[in-house]
């Protein structure tokens, strides 16, 4: 599970950086990299969203440790 957790955390960080770039500079990195391929851009957003939902489980695991 640690590998999956690391992948999910990486995706959430990438998503957060992208949102920061949009907020501060009005620059969407995902659209810039994959802008010509709409289905790919939407797929990337969906994967990052699923990773964010999965990362909610980190809170539950942290409570179990304490």
Cβ atoms 44, 30 nearer than 8 A: yes
| Mean pLDDT along residues 35-62 | 90
Average pLDDT, the chain: 90
Smallest CA-to-CA distance from 56 within 23, 17, 22, 8 is with 8
Q: Is the pLDDT of residue 27 over 80?
A: yes
| Mean pLDDT along residues 15-37 | 93
Domain count, the chain: 1
Task: Give the rounded percent of residues in the chain with a pLDDT score beyond 70.
Answer: 94
- Enter the tokens of residue 17: 């950086």
Cβ atoms 9, 55 nearer than 8 A: yes
Q: What are phi and psi of 10, to 5 degrees?
A: -60, -45
Domain extent at residue 41: 2-65
Q: Is the pLDDT of residue 64 over 80?
A: no
């Amino acid at each position: 599970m640690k590998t999956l957790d690391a992948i999910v955390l990486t995706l959430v960080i990438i998503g957060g950086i992208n949102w920061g770039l949009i907020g501060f500079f009005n620059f969407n990195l995902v659209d810039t990299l994959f802008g010509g391929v709409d289905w790919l851009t939407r797929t990337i957003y969906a994967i990052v969203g699923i990773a964010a939902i999965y990362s909610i489980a980190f809170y539950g695991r942290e409570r179990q440790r304490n």
